[in-house]
Structure 1
Amino acid sequence: MSALLEVDGISVSFDGFRAINNLSFNIGEAELRAVIGPNGAGKTTFMDIVTGKTRPDAGDVTFGTPPKSLLRMNEAQIAREGIGRKFQRPTVFEDQTVADNLTMALKAKRSPFAVLGWRPSAESQARVAELASEVGLASQIARKAGELSHGQKQWLEIGMLLAQEPRLLLVDEPAAGMTLAEREQTTALLVRLAESRAVVVVEHDMDFVRRLNCKVTVLHQGAVLAEGSLDHVTRNPDVIEVYLGR
């Protein structure tokens, strides 16, 4: 089976420091992957390259079938191609309701005239209700986003990304700051989402990664150090030395 995302031998340096060093990575159409590694391993730079925020000095990044090079696209074009990124801190419109946040995120024409003339339809309202239900916020749909718990805001932002119908989701440390119950619900959500799209979870929390029960990629000094099940990579002597032993 061909990969949905193929990262091939990318390298990038900042002021002489090599943040990514000949990194190769791929993920399939409907796959959940955890990416772990110590601080400075290149996890954020890897996501920056995939989403077009940073350009590599060497290598290529291709996406889709047939594969298209993401290096020829800007950030907006990459997002429209079907790649959504969720940052660690939730960014939602706090004064707007859950429904309003999801409505604003729906995939639609963005020209000034289209935006000015847009009115919610029965179809768009049904889609918003579906999204709220999918991320566990059906009972909160009329509440202002600012009234939600930290975990609920994270789910709302995931819902806003889903509104764009992405084929690949990049999710940065989703478990940070969540209660145990919220973490369990987030695990179930991410596992469910990966049944129909690719999901990459960058995470420090090893217990959360274990709950995801997926293939793990370990980064170190901008390169892949190990890959496989969590049990497999945590038995790797190099991983123990550079990451788990700290």
Structure 2
Amino acid sequence: MSQLLEVSGVSVTFDGFRAINNLSFSIGPAELRAIIGPNGAGKTTFMDIVTGKTRPDEGHVLWGEMNQSLLKMSESRIAQAGIGRKFQRPTVFEDQSVRDNLMMALKKNRSPWSVLTFRPSSADMARIEELAEEIGLADQLGRKSGELSHGQKQWLEIGMLLAQEPKLLLVDEPAAGMTLAEREHTTDLLKQAAKTRAVVVVEHDMEFVRRLDCKVTVLHEGSVLAEGSLDHVTQNKDVIDVYLGR
């Protein structure tokens, strides 16, 4: 099976500190993957490289069936190619309704004229209803986003990313600050999303990772330390020494 994302031999140094060190791994087209590791392991830098925010010193990052180099693309071009990223803190338009937030995110022609003359079609409205149902906010569409709970804002932001129809979704610590019920819903949401696209979750919470029930990549000092099921990696002596034993 061809890979959706192929990272090979990537290294990047900041002021003499090697944040990513000969990192190589790949993600399949419809795969859920968790990335864990201690602080400073390179998890955020990896996402910065894939989204074009940071340029590595060496290595290749190849994308899609055509094996395009992401390193030659701008951040906006990478987003258009189908890579969406959710940061730790939710960023939604607080004064706008849930419906308007989702509508603004829909994958559309973004030329200034089309934005000014945009009128949602019945297909657009149906897509919004569908997304709201998927993220668990169907009964909140008319509500101002600023009034939502922390967990609901996280789901709205995931919904806004899904509205852009990404092929790869990068999600940073989605469980942080959530109630138990919210975390369970988030797990279901990410598992559902991974049926039709690749979803990579960077997370510290081992219980949350266990519930995702997917392949786990452990990073340490900028490279892959271990890979496999959560049970497999948590029994690895090196992983216990550098991460779990703390």
TM-score bracket for this pair, using the shorter chain length: over 0.9
Q: After TM superposition, give the deviation of residue 25 of structure 1 in Å.
A: 1.2
Query: What percentage of aligned pairs have identical amino acids?
Result: 77
Partner of 1:81: 81
Amino acid across the alignment from 2:184:
E
Matched, 1:35 2:42: no
CA distance in 2, matches of 1:147, 1:173: 22
Deviation at 1:117, TM superposition (A): 0.8
Matches within 5 A, 1:1-246: 1-246=1-246
Which stretch of the first structure deviates more once superposed, 122-131 or 153-162? Answer: 122-131
Deviation at 1:112, TM superposition (A): 1.0
Note the C-alpha offset of 1:123: 1.3
User: Separation in 1 of the partners of 2:115 and 2:193?
Assistant: 29
Q: CA RMSD in A?
A: 0.5
Letter in 2 for 1:72: K
With structure 2 as the length reference, what TM-score do the two structures score? Answer: 0.99
Alpha-carbon deviation of 1:103?
0.4
Structure 1 unaligned runs (5+)?
A: none
CA distance in structure 2 between the partners assigned to 1:152 and 1:49 by the alignment: 28
1:52-93 Cα deviation digits (max 9, x unpaired): 000000001011112111001000000000000000000000
Letter in 2 for 1:193: A
> In structure 1, how many angstroms separate the alpha carbons of the residues matched to 2:158 and 2:25?
23
Please tell me the residue identity of whatever aligns with 2:55: R
Q: 2 CA distance for matches of 1:122 and 1:211? A: 37
Cα deviation, residue 110, structure 1: 1.0
Instruction: Report how far residue 203 of structure 1 moved.
Output: 0.1
Provide the C-alpha distance between the structure 2 equivalents of 1:152 and 1:87, rounded to a whole number of angstroms. 15
AA aligned to 1:169 is: L
Letter in 2 for 1:19: A
How many residues are aligned here? 246
CA distance in 2, matches of 1:10, 1:143: 44
Write the deviation string for residues 180-201 of structure 1: whole angstroms up to 9, x where unpaired.
0000000011111111100000
